[in-house]
Amino acid sequence: MGWILGDKFNKVFPHKGSIRVLWETKWKFACEKSVYPFHDGNIQDFAPIFEHLIKRNINDALSDNYTKAFIPVAESLEQRASTALDNGDSQSASELLLRAAVVYRISRFPYVGPDDSNGLKRAAYDLQKKAYLAATSFWPARMQEHFIPFTHRSGTEGTHIPIYVRVPNTATLDRKVPCILILTGLDGYRPDNSQRTHEILKRGWGVVICEIPGTADSPADPADPASPDRLLDSILQYMASRPELDMSKIVIWGLSAGGFYAVRAAHTHSTRLAGCIAHGPGIHHFLDAEWLSRVEDHEYPFPIVSAWAKKYGYDDPDEFRQKAQEKFSLIRTGIVDQPSCRLLLLNGMDDGITPIEDCLALFTHGTSKEGRFYPGLPHMGYPDSLVAAYKWLDDVLGQNKCSHLPN
């Protein structure tokens, strides 16, 4: 197949296998600008960590030695936060805890799965959640964790769904608010969406954050293509029980691997949603054997196929390469030929993780779609795609800014 990615399809990106190159050419800049995946981070925290990793030639992010390099820095930030709180400085405590949470986040890259009950990366993720919720407890509209019933569960699936919920303090039964349901990705989980929730609440809307099947704390069966439908049924049932949420104005925003589920939801739950954003989605071609044969060489910072395999319920990456497209493709299974709600597709044209062909294919199936694609930009099309996302949400839900919320 002739991929739109062109010559870059066969290119091995220079950071592959090298923490030094990854830091010096990509992550250092992202950390300085506090952008993905370093939102809320601080270069002062990460520079010595990566100096340590580079000096000791630790290049395998799957190793405990990689994760161990981050833990002392995160613990020191938590201790400083405790001191600040003892001195009555809750703002500084919150900022330090957010920084600790980001350090824990990078330490548990690239993947934590529901079956990873032990191990250092699972421990780091649990510490990240603890630090993050402590940090957000000082926000004017705090982030709250709920464990809601998985009422539509099947078989051996877990009994409860962990979600984060944040709503404006002004939301009441008499003043219901629209709500964005964020579906997270392969490596970005519930505590990794501060900036999005700030922007959403500034518009007077609520937000619910949920992890997708096969990742983090999700109870849904990753091997069952229908499990996300049951997951969504259960979450929407819970949201309908919240009297301050306007169930006629619910939008799903799926991020990266979560974009797959946003596309699916736009078709399986079209009458219950005002719209969906699929941000960097794969739907069919990303599971193509030829694509998977080269995706390890592209912009993702670490090996990805083994994580993708686990995320879709495969222990063997080779079996994943051979069978996943037939089982999960939203084209092969006919999902995208059903009617859909409004669906916005966003991505960079140079995406080397989920090919832009997946977005373009949707324009020849089912209901008409909307899309904005960015030449020269990689996976997700950051930062330009965020502008388009918020503009579209304003159009779908209406904008009602709340001045009392943080920037």
Q: Which residues are catalytic?
A: 256, 351, 379
Which tokens in the block code for residue 67? 């994760």
Left (φ > 0), alpha (ψ -120 to 50) or beta: where does 214 sit?
left
φ/ψ of 79, rounded to 5, equals -65, -40
How many CB atoms are located within 10 Å of the residue 112 CB? 24
Q: Token pair of 340, please?
A: 């859909």
Contact 168, 198 (CB under 8 A): no
- CA 388 to chain centroid, in Å, comes to 18
Tell me which residue of 394, 406, 324, 351 sits closest to 90, measured CA to CA.
406
d(CA 91, CA 388): 31
Name which of 206, 353, 181 is nearest 269 in CA terms.
Answer: 181
Would you state the structure tokens that stand for residue 40, as one six-digit string?
A: 């809320």
Taking the C-alpha atoms of residue 401 and residue 380, their distance in angstroms, rounded to an integer, is 26
For 397-406, give one letter per residue: b (16+ CB within 10 A) or e.
Answer: beeeebeebe
Q: Per DSSP, what are the bridge partners of residue 208?
A: 165, 181
Q: Are 216 and 191 in contact (CB under 8 A)?
A: no
Q: Which of 264, 383, 392 is nearest to 333 (CA)?
A: 264
Phi, psi of 182 (to 5 degrees): -90, 125
Joined together, the tokens standing for residue 258 give 């979560």
65-73, long-range: CB < 8 A, 24+ apart: 66/19, 66/107, 67/107, 67/108, 67/120, 67/121, 67/124, 68/120, 69/107, 70/103, 70/104, 70/106, 70/107, 70/124, 71/104, 71/107, 71/124, 73/45, 73/46, 73/48, 73/49, 73/103
